Amino acid sequence: MKVLVIHTCAGAGHLKAAEALYAGLKQNTPHEIVLVDALDYTSPSFKTFYQRGYVLLVTRFPWLWGFLFRLLDIDIVQPLLRLFHRIGNGWNARRLVAFLREQEFDYIFSTHFMPSEVVATAKQSGLIHAKLITVVTDFDVHKIWLHPATDFYTVACNWTHDKIKHLGVKEEKICICGIPTHGQFALPHDIGRLKEKLGLKKDVFTVLIATGSFGIGPIEQLLEALGEFQRVVVCGRNQALFQRLVRKNYPFAKILGLVDNMPELMAVADVMVTKPGGLSIAEALVRQVPMIFFHPIAGQETNNVHVLKEHGIGVMAADVPAIVRAIKELHDSRDLYLTAAKQTNQLARPEAVRDIIALINSQHKA
């Protein structure tokens, strides 16, 4: 059986979810597994526009991104949006459709709405016959993810299930599997030895500041305000931020760029200050790290915070002083800290990859 895992590199979360699925499928199934970025099968200009346009909107014009996010979720806009997608994707993703037809995949996992739209439209037109499983990578779900030709949706939790069902998706198409995370996030660690390996002090309250792949937010103010704690900052792809922070040589702080050991960094963290992206949240839930949210992207990230708030998970801090207060409260009260860590169990899905794989295996046997 041939299985495709497809994503787009517009934000790191979609890629990380795809990589987790790919690794799980390669390790636990005998199938032929292929991982691709959908944008690699579009025109160079479209790929550049798609990637840079998204980064520009969320970093420089977040108000505009939030407006568009809400606008495109309105029912009356959906027919026009579908037409726009069909024309735009049909033209720019012709090589992707040709690739799908040539390869004749049996199953396609999509961790981003763009390839889901392309695959579903090709299915609807009879050009391909693969089963399409759309893996929703946030705790809320936007209508842009939905298409009648999708065979299954995997969602993060009961809340997401109820929302997508309310939007008209049939019950039998919805599977509560969780957001796929790499198995390393669930591994036990000797924290003292791991801190030593990472060059951190043992037995010291450690704050992980994760800025997202774009490296945005009041990072310098946080570093200065949290000077009494050991701090680890992940700057993502923001090289300018990384170099600026390194030059300042903050005491009791470790400054990192784009990392590939986030499971280890979360393991040594007592609390994580993070942008509320779906994958970052899912990983922290598996690791049972209390979270303080900051600088959310309007739309998907603010909606993620809303869902977690309903489950008593995480703190949305409006500014740097509020973040500092929340961290000090967790540091000063053992009971409060243990409660915050325990709350993560409500939505943690460490076996999400396994459950999604079990879904396709059961369909294949049927």
The tens digit of pLDDT for each residue in 174-216 reads: 999 999 999 999 999 999 999 999 999 998 999 999 877 666 7
Does residue 360 share a domain with residue 291? no
Does residue 217 share a domain with residue 163? no
- What pLDDT sits at residue 13? 84
Band of residue 90 on the pLDDT scale cut at 50, 70, 90: low
- Report the number of distinct structural domains present in the chain: 2
Instruction: Identify the residue with better confidence: 16 or 67.
Output: 16
Lowest mean pLDDT among 87-101, 120-134, 179-193: 87-101
Does residue 265 share a domain with residue 157? no
Does residue 9 share a domain with residue 154? yes
* pLDDT above 80: residue 320: yes
* pLDDT above 60: residue 364: no
Does residue 210 share a domain with residue 169? no
CATH of residue 17: 3.40.50.2000
Band of residue 52 on the pLDDT scale cut at 50, 70, 90: confident
Band of residue 51 on the pLDDT scale cut at 50, 70, 90: confident
Does residue 156 share a domain with residue 27? yes
- Written as one letter, the residue type at 30 is P
Mean pLDDT estimate for the chain = 89
Secondary element (H or E) of residue 365: helix 352-365
pTM for the full model?
0.91
Does residue 153 share a domain with residue 279? no
Host domain of residue 324: 186-346
Contacts with 358 (C-beta within 8 Å, 6 or more apart), sequence order: none
- What pLDDT sits at residue 215? 64
Cα 227 from Cα 329, distance rounded (Å): 16
Instruction: Identify the residue with better confidence: 308 or 80.
Output: 308
Does residue 174 share a domain with residue 32? yes
Q: What is the CA radius of gyration of the chain?
A: 21
Mean pLDDT across 302-313: 93
Mean pLDDT across 216-221: 84
* pLDDT above 90: residue 76: no
Does residue 325 share a domain with residue 209? yes
Tell me the Ramachandran region of residue 317: left when phi exceeds 0, alpha when psi lies from -120 to 50, beta otherwise.
Answer: beta
* pLDDT above 80: residue 103: yes
- What pLDDT sits at residue 213? 65
Dihedral over Cα of 178, 180, 181, 183: its sign:
positive
Does residue 336 share a domain with residue 196? yes
Does residue 225 share a domain with residue 342? yes
* pLDDT above 80: residue 62: no
Q: Pairing relation of β-strands 32-37 and 206-210?
A: unpaired
Does residue 74 share a domain with residue 37? yes
* pLDDT above 90: residue 258: no
- What pLDDT sits at residue 64? 78
* pLDDT above 70: residue 86: no
